[in-house]
Chain A
Amino acid sequence: MIETRGLRKSFTSRQGREKKTVEAVRGVDLNVAEGEIFGFLGPNGAGKTTTLRMLATLIVPDDGTATIAGADLRSDPGEVRRRIGYVAQGGSTWDDSTAREELILQARLYGVSKTVAHQRAERVLKGFQLSDYADRKCKTYSGGQRRRVDIALGIIHEPKVVFLDEPTTGLDPQSRAHMWDEIRRLRAEGMTVFITTHYLDEADALCDRISIMDNGEIVASGTPADLKREISGDVVRVGLPASSIAAAAEALEGYKFDTYDDNVRLYVEDGAVAIPQILRALDAADVPLGTVELHRPSLDDVFLTKTGRSLRES
C-alpha cells in the first residue's frame, strides 16, 4: 500500500549568519501492507513528521521515490492527495467553526456534492461519537474531542491510507484508550493506518508492524513480537556504580550484554537461572552490587540495542 525507497530530506536554516543543515530524513525504505496499522516509533526529532509530510505531498523529498495507494508521489501528487488522509501532529481545527461545518467543507474540498457532504459529516460524527457537540464551536471541545474531530476530518473522504501524526500525544489515559479503539475501527473498515508515536506501549499494543526510527534512519522493522524475540530470552539489568562498570564487563565475559553509565544489561535464555550465576561472577570480581531487575525484553530494549540509548530517557 505504501512503498518508499531512499527517501531523503534535509533542511537548511539560518541562525544569525551561519547556515545550518539538518539531515532530517536520510534514506528511508518502507513497505506498508494493505489493511495494517503501521507504526513509526522514535524519539522527538527522529524525522517521523518530516517523513509523513513528504508522503502526504506537503514537502518535496530531496531524493528517493514512493508509491502510495498505487499513485506515484513524484509524478502524480494530485492523485496521492485524493487517495490519502493526513492528520497533522498539531491539530487542524479552527476555534470559531463547528465540527460539522469543518467536516462538510472538508468533504466538499474533495469534490463531493453538498448533500453527500452532509451525509458523510453526519456519519463520521456518529462514528466518532461527536454528535452531541457537532454544532458547538471547536474552541469549546476537550483535547480528546478535538483530536477526534481532527481524525474525522482526515478520513471524511474515505481514503485508502490515513497518516496520523502522534494521534495520542497529550491525551489523558482514558482518551488515549478511546483513541486506540477508534484507530482499530479504521483498520476494521479496511483502511491502512500509518501512525507515528514515541510511546513504547502504543507501538507495542496498537501496531501490527513498526519501524523504529532514530536520527533520520530506520534502525529496525518488524512486528513488535518479532523485534522483541530478536533479543532472545530475558533481560537482566544490574545497577552498578559507574566506577565498577569496567570490572563488571571483565567479570561477565561470555555473557551477551551492553554497558551503560550506571548499569549493565544482560540478555540471557532464562533469567531465573542466570541471576544467581551473574551475581556470583560479579561478587567474585569484587564488584559492588546495586539493584537487580529481571524483565521480558521490551521495545525499549530493542531501541537500546540498536541505538545505544533508551527511548524513555530521550
Chain B
Amino acid sequence: MKLLRDISLIFNRQMQLLLRNPVWILVGVFQPVMYLLLFAPLLKPALGVSTDAEAYEIFVPGLLVLLAIFGGLFQGFGLIAELRAGVIERSRVTPVSRVALLLGRSLRDVVSLIAQAVIITLLALVFDLRVFLGNLLLAYLMLALISLMTSAVSYGVALVVKSEDALAPLMNTVAQPVLLLSGILLPLTFAPGWLQGVADWNPFSWAVNGTRALFRGDLGAPDVWQGLLIMAVLAVLAVAWAAREFARSVR
C-alpha cells in the first residue's frame, strides 16, 4: 500500500540519520537518569513508602511519561531546521503522502523514546523495581501514544510558526503547567481538592495514573483503559491536524 510504503521510506531515512548520531538518545536519557539516581531516593518519606522498590514503582512511571511529553514537544526544532534546508519543500513537490511525511518522523520519535524508556527501566530494575512484562509492554504502548501525540503537535506548531524563536517559548508555556498539574513527578494524593479538580481536566494526568497502575501490577484498574483511550484519541487528532499542516502551503 502506498501510504505504508511512504511511511517506511520517510521513517527509514529519519532512523538512518538518527543512528548516525546515536549519542542524542543518550543525551536525552541523561537528565532522567540523574533524577532516578539522585532524586528518587529522597522521596521515600514523601511518598510514605519504606522501600526503594515501592518508591520507584510510583516515581519511574511519572518520569517516563514526563520524558515522553517533553521529548515529543521539542521535536519541532528538528523540523524547522529541515524547513530551512528546503528538505520539506523538496518532499512536498513529490507525490509522497503528506501523512507519511508526518508519521515517518513521529514514528522515529516514538522509537527513540521507547529506547530511552528501556534504558531507564533497566536501570530501575537494578534498584529492585519489579514489573510484569505484559504490564510493562502496555505501559510502553501508553508512552508511545503520548510521544506520537506530542511530537505531532510539535511538528504541526513548527509548520505554523516556522521559527525556533517562536516555538521555544510556546512549547515551554504549554509544557510547564501541563507538567505541574498532572501529578507526574509526585502523585496528587496529598494535593488540595481544587488542584486535583484541575488535574482531572489534564489528559496527561489520566495517562500517568494509568501508567502507575500498570507498574503497580493493577491491570484491571479503570485508570489503565481510560488512560490508553484518552491518549489514543488525542494522538489520532494530533496526527490528523499535523498532517493537514504538512499538506498546506509551507514556506
Please give the residue numbers on chain A whose beta carbons come within 8 Å of chain B beta carbons, in ascending order: 56-60, 78, 81-82, 84-86, 88, 90-97, 101, 105-106, 108-111, 153, 157
Beta-carbon contact of B86 and A60 below 8 Å: no
Chain A residues with CB below 8 A from B244, complex form: none
Asked whether, in the complex, the Cβ of A106 is within 8 Å of the Cβ of B90, the reply is yes
Contact at A92–B86, with CB atoms within 8 Å? yes
The 7 A-B pairs with the shortest beta carbon distances in the complex, nearest first, are A92-B86, A92-B90, A109-B94, A86-B93, A59-B249, A109-B96, A81-B95
**Interface SS of A by simple majority:** loop
B175 at the interface (CB under 8 A from A): no
Contact A91 B249, beta carbon cutoff 8 Å: no
Question: Are A101 and B16 in contact (CB-based, < 8 A)?
Answer: yes
Which residues of chain A come closer than 8 Å to B44, judged between CB atoms?
none
Complex CA gap A111/B93 in Å reads 13
Cβ of A111: which chain B residues have Cβ within 8 Å of it?
2, 95
B142 to chain A, nearest CB (A): 32
Cα A101 to Cα B9 with chains together (Å): 12
CB proximity of B10 to chain A, nearest CB, Å: 9
B46 at the A interface (CB under 8 A)? no
On chain B, which size bracket covers the interface?
Answer: 20 to 34
Given contacts A96-B21, A109-B9, 8 further A-B contacts (CB under 8 A): A60-B249, A91-B86, A92-B85, A94-B82, A97-B13, A97-B17, A106-B90, A106-B94
Contacting residues, chain A, for B21 (C-beta < 8 A): 96
Given contacts A60-B249, A106-B94, contact A96 B89 (CB under 8 A): no
Could you pull out 5 A-B pairs where Cβ atoms are within 8 angstroms?
Answer: A59-B249, A85-B93, A109-B91, A110-B94, A157-B94
A88 touches B16 (CB 8 A): no
Given contacts A58-B92, A59-B249, A81-B94, contact A96 B20 (CB under 8 A): yes
Docked-complex contact B9 and A57, CB < 8 angstroms: no
Q: Which of B66-89 contact A (CB under 8 A)?
A: 82, 85-87, 89
- Which residue, A86, A94, A97, A109, has most C-beta atoms of chain B within 10 A? A109
Within 8 A of A (CB), among B10-66: 13, 16-17, 20-21
A105-B104 Cα distance, complex, nearest whole Å:
13
Q: What's the nearest-Cβ distance from chain A to residue B240, in Å?
A: 20
Q: Given A88-B89, A92-B89, are A82 and B95 also a contact pair (CB < 8 Å)? A: yes
A60 CA to B92 CA, complexed, in Å: 13
Contact A84 B93 (CB under 8 A): yes
CA distance A297 to B191 in the complex (A): 83
A161 to chain B, nearest CB (A): 12
Contact string against A for B residues 143-169, beta-carbon threshold 8 Å, 1 for contact and 0 otherwise: 000000000000000000000000000
In the assembly, what is the distance between CA of A96 and CA of B24, in Å? 15
Contact B90 A58 (CB under 8 A): no
Are B6 and A92 in touch, CB under 8 angstroms?
no
**Residue of B whose beta carbon sits closest to that of A60:** B249
Q: Are the CB atoms of A88 and B9 closer together than 8 Å?
A: no
CB-CB < 8 A to B82: which residues of A? 94
Q: Of A84, A88, A157, which contacts B90 at CB under 8 A?
A: A88
Query: A106-B90, A108-B9 given as contacts; is B95 within 8 A of A94 (CB)?
Result: no
Inter-chain contact B91/A90, CB cutoff 8 Å: no
- How far does the alpha carbon of A96 sit from the alpha carbon of B16 in the complex, in Å? 10
